[in-house]
Amino acid sequence: GDINGNIMPGKAENGGWGEGEERVNLAEQSLLNKLIRRSLVRNRNQVEVLQADPNSPLYSVKTFEELRLKPELLKGVYNMGFNRPSRIQENALPMMLAQPPQNLIAQSQSGTGKTAAFSLAMLSHVNPDNKWTQCLCIAPTYELALQTGQVIEQMGKFCPDVKLAYAIRGNRMERGAKLQEQIVIGTPGTVHDWCTKYKLIDPKKITMFVLDEADVMIATQGHRDQSIRIHRQLPMNCQMLFFSATFEDSVWRFAEQIVPEPNIIRLKREEETLDTIKQFYVNCKEKEDKFTALCNLYGALTIAQAMIFCRTRKMAAWLTESLTKEGHQVALLSGEMTVEQRAAVIERFRSGKEKVLVTTNVCSRGIDVEQVSLVVNFDLPVDLDGNADNETYLHRIGRTGRFGRRGFAVNMVDSQHSMDIIKQIEMHFDRKIIKLDTSNLEEME
Ligand code: ADP
């Protein structure tokens, strides 16, 4: 096949991995985020808009009323607890609902309201009297397709004539029987089969095509090519909507293949900062010594909650067991858990049922647990070459300005090599990391 269809996620997305470590699975990470998210991620950055036709007026809305939605759809939106459009929705919704139809490429971090936006666009777009498929939406995995389908179903709760079908594995259909559902959501392979092999969908009758999580899509082998194959069968005048949480070059090239004459909307993620974090390091000999230091630290502080990062699953398991023996209530987030199990652990920790969360880096990428006031790097984050992984360090302990909460980060140093890493991190961020004596914790006050 096409080698470009087989792009593996690069190091930046993996945060580095080595022996005994786990690799980031982008699709799992995305699903985990969806499972634990209850509300919008706040973002104070300005939305950037690049119009296909710079001379056409630029519309944005501050309320859902302004969109002149069908009353039953508006009811569905309010029923989900949405009061007003999110940042990205303010611009994206009028564009997606415009007549004549406009194409859109939208990029913003997960949790900013993309899924809700295109679900609304699809529900608004279809003609319920026409009993054939009019909107096609593709997602990277079975689970992600189900999640998005649930949003569509919930939002369309008061639109009984609009029906949704899932083109996912295991959903066996009779060959040639044309689908009556106006919206189909599925994974690229099955959607392609339904259009060509089984002829359940007439691709020529599709008037809105949505490609969700484009960055995850191209990280999954074969999905890019399948998406392009589906896209080729669509009519010229089909409206194309393309979404991604990130936008590296490969995603951009993919977007250009799918979306002609695009309007482009971007919302940059809010930068994380170390400004409100006090950083320390502790000299230790080996893991038992690190453990003792950790217990001293924890015992001396009145901290709300702590998150502890280990390099390997094995270390995380050992530490959890040791802490539990000491009488701490500890939650463990580990790579062998299913995404649903991980979501449940994070929920418990969030609600304060456990005070300490032990995790490997990979498991907790992209999760922000606001109330955590102490982050411990039981093992320092390093890349494949053994150098400081500054990006991961920032992800672990950094905060976005909006929370403004003060926090502590404690790094366990157990060798000259790890001391060198501390120095590298200090240099990189130009922020002092102070030596801490865990038998004398006055510096932390
Ligand atoms: P994304 O697709 O960018 O990850 P979602 O559409 O899944 O974002 O939205 C993230 C969370 O915010 C979801 O829990 C969703 O229900 C909620 N949400 C989306 N739009 C709004 C809105 N306008 N007002 C309030 N909550 C919203």
35, burial (CB in 10 Å: exposed 0-12, middle 13-18, buried 19+): middle
Q: What is the Å distance from ligand 1's center to 28 Cα?
A: 18
Give the ligand 1 atom nearest the CA of 34.
7
**CA–CA gap between residue 75 and residue 79 (Å, rounded):** 6
Portion of the chain with pLDDT greater than 70, in percent: 89
Contacts (Cβ under 8 Å, ≥6 apart) of 344? none
CA distance 9 to 103: 27
Q: Compute the distance from residue 246 Cα to the ligand 1 centre, in Å.
A: 17
Q: Which residue in this structure is represented by tokens 């980031």?
A: 24
Q: Are 238 and 207 in contact (CB under 8 A)?
A: yes
Substitution candidate for ligand 1 out of 31, 36, 37, 40 with most atoms within 8 A of CB:
40
Our answer on whether the CB atom of 38 is closer than 6 Å to any ligand 1 atom is yes
Residue 232 burial by CB count (10 A; 0-12/13-18/19+): exposed, middle or buried? exposed
Q: What is the dihedral of CA 93, 95, 99, 105, to 10 degrees?
A: -120
Fill in the amino acid letter for 405: R
Q: Is 37 in the pocket of ligand 1 (CB under 6 A)?
A: yes
| Closest to 306 measured CA to CA, from 347, 355, 351 | 355
Give the number of other Cβ atoms within 10 Å of residue 317's Cβ. 16
- Is residue 309 within 8 Å of residue 364, measured between CB atoms? yes
Separation of alpha carbons 350 and 35, rounded Å: 13
Q: Is the CB of 116 under 6 A from ligand 1?
A: yes
Beta carbon of 334 within 6 Å of any ligand 1 atom:
no
Amino acid in position 436: L
Q: How many CB atoms lie within 10 A of CB 338?
A: 11
Q: What are phi and psi of 57, to 5 degrees?
A: -65, 150
Q: Tell me which of 86, 96, 152 to substitute to probe ligand 1's pocket, judged by most ligand atoms within 8 Å of the beta carbon.
A: 86
The angle that helices 223-232 and 249-258 make with each other, rounded to 10 degrees, is 20
Per-residue pLDDT of the chain (445 residues; tens, 9 = 90+): 233 333 333 333 333 333 344 445 888 888 888 888 878 887 889 999 999 998 888 889 999 999 999 999 999 999 999 999 999 999 999 999 999 999 999 999 989 999 999 999 999 999 999 999 999 999 999 999 999 999 999 999 999 999 999 999 988 888 878 999 999 999 999 999 999 999 999 999 999 999 999 999 999 889 999 999 999 999 999 999 999 999 899 999 999 999 999 999 999 988 888 888 899 999 999 889 999 999 888 776 667 788 999 999 999 999 999 999 988 889 999 888 888 999 899 889 888 899 899 998 776 766 666 678 889 999 999 988 989 999 889 988 877 654 556 788 999 999 999 999 999 999 999 999 999 887 666 666 5
Give the residue whose CA is nearest to atom 20 of ligand 1.
Answer: 113
Asked if ipTM goes beyond 0.85, one says yes
Q: Which two tokens stand for residue 333?
A: 């987030």
* Residues in Cβ contact with 260 at an 8 Å cutoff, skipping those fewer than 6 apart: 103, 240
Residues 6+ apart with CB under 8 A from 184: 133, 135, 136, 137, 164, 165, 166, 167, 191, 194, 201
Is it true that the peptide bond before 128 is cis, omega within 30 degrees of 0? no
Q: Which of 39, 63, 73, 243 to mutate to test the pocket of ligand 1 (most atoms within 8 A of CB)?
A: 39
User: How confident is the model at residue 365, as a pLDDT?
Assistant: 67
